[in-house]
Amino acid sequence: MAVPSFRNLAVPASFFGMPLGLLALGIAWRAAARIWSVPYLVGEALILAGGGLWFLLFALYLAKWAWSRGAAQSEFEHPVQCCFVGLAGVVASLASIGMAPHAPWLARALFVLGGAWTLVFALYRTGRLWMGARAPETTTAVLYLPTVAGGFVTGSAAAALGHADWGQLAFGAGLFAWLAIESVLLHRLYTAAPMAPALRPTMGIQLAPPAVCAVAYLNVGGGPDLFSHALLGYSLLQALILLRLWPWIGAAGATPAWWGVSFGAAALPTAAIKLVADGDSGAVAILAPWLFGAGNVAIAALAVLTVRLLVQGRLLVPAVPRP
């Protein structure tokens, strides 16, 4: 396989979903190692791999603005792809959670970078959305990424660094942004034309908000209660709906966009495991190991798909020439 030069590649911002999934799964393994007899080092290895991949992709994304400014600008202005740009900061904040026990100084640096990137991009993108003139067909679950994922992960990261009070503010921002955006998205799905096949894998992101919300809620001070159980129940509903739609979504074929489901697939078992660690029992304790296994299978399948696409030369594409 002929591998093109990085200078001729336009690594899409959507690739930040890959380290996001690896880091989230690593954090799930770290939580699982505290209550079950699973290897602690597996989680740390996943966190290290996810952090390293984020650093590589972040460097390549910044380089794209120098080497392929036309492609970078086009992506930044795209009504769907633009939201993945905000994911760069979300992944940095998630990496800060992974690094907190080992390198607090690095965790703080990642948190500052990730939080600033997330906030600035979320304000910019939300402001553009409030101006209107958006085609309903471009409304997809990627709208959750800048404000919803950003708010929840920033809240969890702040709590991990000892600032749960600030984390609660970020949690509130993510929570109410989620409720507002979900109503818009569901209205589009119910009333507008069917989503184009190429966009359908982004529906996997629909699993993330309730699951990541549950994790953030537990991190900033919540515990086993009605609200956390309700979030877990809604996450399970989203997962079942996505399974029901699997043949329809699968019309997109093999594509890296399937990584959109990875954050929710890892966050759902993490929430259940954290509840069990806090003394929860009953339904949650029964579901937790099954959810953990399902999350691992899903992300392992995504990793295999990605390697196969890379070997086939279908993962990295040539950059759009500079205008």
| Predicted confidence (pLDDT) at residue 4 exceeds the cutoff of 90 | no
Buried b (16+ CB within 10 A) or exposed e, 7-32: eebbbbbbbbbbbbbbbbbbbbbbbb
| Predicted confidence (pLDDT) at residue 323 exceeds the cutoff of 80 | no
| Predicted confidence (pLDDT) at residue 270 exceeds the cutoff of 50 | yes
pLDDT for position 7 = 52
Position 223, amino acid: G
Query: Which residue bears the tokens 């591998």?
Result: 3
| Predicted confidence (pLDDT) at residue 138 exceeds the cutoff of 90 | no
pLDDT for position 144 = 95
Q: How confident is the model at residue 41 (pLDDT cuts 50, 70, 90)?
A: very high
Cα–Cα dist 216/234, whole Å: 15
| Predicted confidence (pLDDT) at residue 226 exceeds the cutoff of 70 | yes
Q: What is the mean pLDDT of residues 146-169?
A: 96
DSSP string for 148-197: IIHHHHHHHHHHHTT-HHHHHHHHHHHHHHHHHHHHHHHHHHHHSPPPPG
Q: What is the mean pLDDT of residues 304-311?
A: 93
| Predicted confidence (pLDDT) at residue 67 exceeds the cutoff of 90 | no
Which positions ≥6 away from 166 have C-beta within 8 Å? 158
Q: How confident is the model at residue 321 (pLDDT cuts 50, 70, 90)?
A: very low
Which H or E run contains 6?
none
Dig out the tokens for 180 from the structure.
Answer: 């507002």
CA distances, 145 to each of 22, 106, 112, 278 (Å) = 17, 24, 18, 28
Which of 94-103, 112-121, 124-133 shows the lowest mean pLDDT across its residues? 124-133
Domains of the chain: 11-311 (1.50.10.150)
9 — phi, psi (to 5°)?
-110, 140
| Predicted confidence (pLDDT) at residue 320 exceeds the cutoff of 70 | no
| Predicted confidence (pLDDT) at residue 6 exceeds the cutoff of 70 | no
Side-chain-side CA neighbours of residue 322 (13 Å): 9
- Tens of pLDDT, residue by residue over 199-214, are 999 999 999 999 999 9
Q: How confident is the model at residue 192 (pLDDT cuts 50, 70, 90)?
A: confident
The mean pLDDT value of the chain amounts to 91
pTM to 2 decimal places: 0.92
Position 163, amino acid: H
Cα–Cα dist 96/279, whole Å: 26
| Predicted confidence (pLDDT) at residue 322 exceeds the cutoff of 70 | no
Which H or E run contains 161?
none
DSSP string for 223-236: -SSHHHHHHHHHHH
